[in-house]
Amino acid sequence: MLSYVLAGLGLGSIYAIAAGSLVITYVASGIFNLAFAAMAYSVARFYYWLLVEEGWGIVPSALVSLFVFAPALGMFLYAVLFRHLRLRSTLVKLMATVGLSVALPPLVQLVLEQPTNTQAPGLAPRPLDVFKVFGSTINADQLATYIGLVVVLVVGVGLLRFTNVGLKVRALVDSEALTSLSGTSPGRVSLGVWAASATLAGLAGILLAPTQGLSVQSMTFLMSAAFAAVVAAKLRSLPLAVAVALVMGVTTNVLEKFIDPSSEFGAVIKPAIPFIFMLLFLLFYALRGQAGDLVAGGALDRAIATQGGDPSVVSAVTGGSNRRILNPSVLAGVVIVGIVFLMPGMLDKFWSGLLATGIAIAIALLSYTLVTGEGGMVWLSQITFAGGGAVLSAELVRNWGWEPLVAVLVAAVFIVPVGVILGLLTIRLGNLYVALVTLTFGSLITTLVFRRDPYYNFGSGQPMPRPEYSTTNDDFAYLALAVFVILAILIVNVRRSTAGLAMSAVRFSENGAKTLGISVVQTKVLVSGLATFTAAVGGGFIAMSNGSTLPDSFDPAGGLVWLAVLVTMGARSNIAALIAGVMFIMMPQVFQTYVDHDYADIPIILFGLGALGLALHPEGVVAQTGNNIMSLVRKITGRRGSDGETPVPPGTPGASGPVRSETDDPLLTPATRGEAATITAGGQA
| Part in contact with other proteins (CB under 8 A); list of ranges 109-117, 195-203, 260-268, 672-680 | 672-680
Length of the chain: 685
Q: Which is nearer to other proteins, 10 or 666 (CB)?
A: 666
Contact between 665 and other proteins per CB under 8 A: no
CA 204 to CA 13: how far, in whole Å?
9
Q: Which is nearer to other proteins, 313 or 359 (CB)?
A: 313
CA 51 to CA 58: how far, in whole Å?
6
CA 342 to CA 75: how far, in whole Å?
48
**Residue 514 phi, psi (nearest 5):** -60, -45
What distance, in Å, lies between the first and last C-alpha atoms of the chain? 60
Binding to other proteins, residues 149-188 (CB under 8 A): none
Contact between 111 and other proteins per CB under 8 A: no
Q: Which is nearer to other proteins, 164 or 656 (CB)?
A: 656
Q: Which is nearer to other proteins, 261 or 674 (CB)?
A: 674
Member of 253, 523, 568, 573 binding other proteins (CB under 8 A): 523
3-state SS, residue 235 = coil
Member of 80, 516, 632, 633 binding other proteins (CB under 8 A): 516
Q: Which is nearer to other proteins, 230 or 527 (CB)?
A: 527
Contact between 679 and other proteins per CB under 8 A: yes
Contact between 508 and other proteins per CB under 8 A: yes
Contact between 493 and other proteins per CB under 8 A: yes
* Residue 137 β-bridge partners: 132
User: Which amino acid belongs to residue 76?
Assistant: F
**Residue 657 phi, psi (nearest 5):** -75, 170
- Residues 397/56, Cβ–Cβ less than 8 Å: no
3-state SS, residue 682 = coil
Member of 10, 186, 320, 570 binding other proteins (CB under 8 A): 320
CB 529 to other proteins: min, Å: 11
Contact between 290 and other proteins per CB under 8 A: no
* Per-residue mark of binding to other proteins, 608-647 (x: CB under 8 A): ----------------------------------xxx-x-
Contact between 526 and other proteins per CB under 8 A: yes
CB 69 to other proteins: min, Å: 43
- Residues 10/248, Cβ–Cβ less than 8 Å: no
Contact between 533 and other proteins per CB under 8 A: no
Contact between 507 and other proteins per CB under 8 A: yes
User: Which amino acid belongs to residue 233?
Assistant: A
DSSP 558-607: HHHHHHHHHHHH-TT-HHHHHHHHHHHHHHHHHIIIII-GGGTTHHHHHH
CA 409 to CA 290: how far, in whole Å?
39
Characterise 437 by phi-psi region: left (phi > 0), alpha (psi -120 to 50), beta (else). alpha
Contact between 502 and other proteins per CB under 8 A: yes
CB 367 to other proteins: min, Å: 16
Q: Which is nearer to other proteins, 398 or 428 (CB)?
A: 428
CB 502 to other proteins: min, Å: 6
CA 27 to CA 24: how far, in whole Å?
5
Q: Which residues bind other proteins (CB under 8 A)?
A: 313, 316-317, 320-321, 323, 325, 492-502, 504-505, 507-509, 511-519, 523, 526, 642-644, 646, 648-649, 651-657, 659-662, 670-671, 673-679, 681, 683-685
